[in-house]
Amino acid sequence: MKPAFDLLVIGAGFSGAVLAERFARVLGKSSLVIDRRNHVAGNAFDEYDGAGVLVHRYGPHYFRTNSERVRAYLSQFTAWRAAEYQILAFSDGRLWNFPINLNTFEQFLGRPSSTEEMEVTLAKWRVPLARPPRNSEEVIVAQVGRELYEKFFKNYTRKQWRRDPSELDPGVCGRIPIRTNRDNRYLTERFQALPADGYTPLIQRILDHPKIEVRLGITLRDVIGKVSFKHLVYSGPVDEFFQHRFGPLPYRSLRFEPETLPVPFFQPAVQVNYPNDFEFTRIVETKHITGQVLPVTTIIREYPEDYGPGREPYYPIPAPEAKAAYARYARLAAAYPNVSFVGRLATYRYYNMDQVIAMALAEFDRLTGSHGGHGEDHHTAPRRNTATTA
């Protein structure tokens, strides 16, 4: 007899873990959660490295949300450590405040200034549009003009995506705020904090339930036909699920290069972006936000790479033709009522953690006919397969 579960969940990242937890805790339904990696937490995975430094293995993960439902949900499993993420950009041989704000403007002028002067100046520099911006070049140039766009956005974006900003949706560069005050925070969401003990313990606690069994280092192919289940939750790449029937979707990959150094800190902020120099896009030093006190530090350089065999599909590409290619898979996925396609890769959306958690909670509501969110999150978490990328 095959082992029987109510749910087979592919992927132990946030989206898979949240759905398994909701079915277990609310309805007493069983799940087998598998992941092809040898750890839970998906791309949010963090761990102590050989030097004892808590690092984010797959890029910096700054938790932020405007959703009270998502914050309250996660707070059942974690305490929070306050964190205001402040980053810098390195360009023309010096560090700049980033995102662009009054401090950056003063650095640019080389003298003190004011919000009023910055607004008047930006009004002269910006290239106004009579319609909403159609791409990531327009969205920035329409706010700050060409010079600041080229200094901070153009080459970083080309490096990160191997595409010109004009070929990417406005939301890619448009998600970076531009301010005329002295607010140095990278993000705009109301709630910004880190899970007190890290992301991996948080997801372990979400999955810690007698009705949830977790098996790591195995793939969907290893279990299919060997266990029985009523419903499948899939959080891997949607094109892979359908054996690339309509051709592979484009993704962007990364290589992470860690280095431990015998100093308490390497750089003055958790993240320094390199828009123009070097092959990496950013250097991340998590000690700045975890509050660890150690005589050593670990930095991780992030190198963008083309996606291919042996590489992880870290980013779906938020661009019109990629979205159109995904739409064919979305239509196919909609014909599988016994499969929930959830998360960043299965719905091909450039989503943050809070958005995939909101999506998983909304999917639970949809499957069970409940109204847990009272409609609150439905603008941040479109029903599966209906919304477009980013």
Of 75, 181, 219, 228, which one interacts with ligand FAD (CB under 6 A)?
A: 219
Cβ distance to ligand UDP smaller for residue 156 or 199 = 156
DSSP 3-state percent helix, strand, coil across the chain (nearest 5): 35, 20, 45
Of 34, 118, 176, 299, which one interacts with ligand FAD (CB under 6 A)?
A: 34
Task: Please give the Cα distance from 359 to 115 (Å, whole number).
Answer: 38
73 touching ligand FAD, by CB under 6 A: no
Q: What are phi and psi of 383, to 5 degrees?
A: -60, 150
Please tell me what DSSP assigns to residue 151: I
Contacted by 153, from ligand UDP, ligand FAD, none: CB < 5 to 8 Å by type: ligand UDP
Q: Shortest Cβ distance from residue 11 to ligand UDP (Å)?
A: 19
Of 6, 25, 27, 36, which one interacts with ligand FAD (CB under 6 A)?
A: 36
User: For the chain, how long is the longest CA-to-CA vector?
Assistant: 76
Q: Give the range of 30-38, 131-139, 259-267, 361-369 binding ligand FAD by CB under 6 A.
A: 30-38
Question: Residue of minimal CB distance from ligand FAD?
Answer: 42
Task: Please give the Cα distance from 360 to 14 (Å, whole number).
Answer: 8
Of 153, 199, 307, 364, which one interacts with ligand UDP (CB under 6 A)?
A: 153
Contacted by 42, from ligand UDP, ligand FAD, none: CB < 5 to 8 Å by type: ligand FAD
Task: Please give the Cα distance from 118 to 113 (Å, whole number).
Answer: 7
Q: Shortest Cβ distance from residue 350 to ligand UDP (Å)?
A: 7
Binding mask 313-352 for ligand FAD (x = CB under 6 A): -x----------------------------xxx-----xx
160 touching ligand UDP, by CB under 6 A: yes
Taking the CA atoms of residue 70, residue 361, residue 323 and residue 61 in that order, the dihedral angle to the nearest 10 degrees is 40
238 touching ligand UDP, by CB under 6 A: no
Q: What are phi and psi of 189, to 5 degrees?
A: -60, 150
Chain positions 349 to 378 lying near ligand FAD, rule: CB under 6 A, are 351-354, 356
Q: Shortest Cβ distance from residue 57 to ligand FAD (Å)?
A: 10
Q: Give the range of 23-31, 45-53, 127-135, 169-177 binding ligand UDP by CB under 6 A.
A: 169-177
Of 173, 233, 272, 283, which one interacts with ligand UDP (CB under 6 A)?
A: 173
Q: Shortest Cβ distance from residue 311 to ligand UDP (Å)?
A: 16
Contacted by 201, from ligand UDP, ligand FAD, none: CB < 5 to 8 Å by type: none
DSSP 291-343: ----S-EEEEEEEEEE--TTS---EE--SHHHHHHHHHHHHHHHT-TTEEE-H
Terminal Cα-to-Cα distance of the chain (whole angstroms): 44
| Structural element, H or E, at residue 240 | helix 238-241
Residues in CB range of 252: below 8 A, 6 or more apart: 160, 161, 162, 304, 305, 306, 307, 313, 314, 315, 317
156 touching ligand UDP, by CB under 6 A: yes
The first and second tokens of residue 101, run together, are 């704000």
The first and second tokens of residue 200, run together, are 């991996």
> Which residues would be at the binding site for ligand FAD (CB under 6 A)?
10-16, 34-37, 42-44, 58-63, 219-220, 235-236, 254, 314, 343-345, 351-354, 356
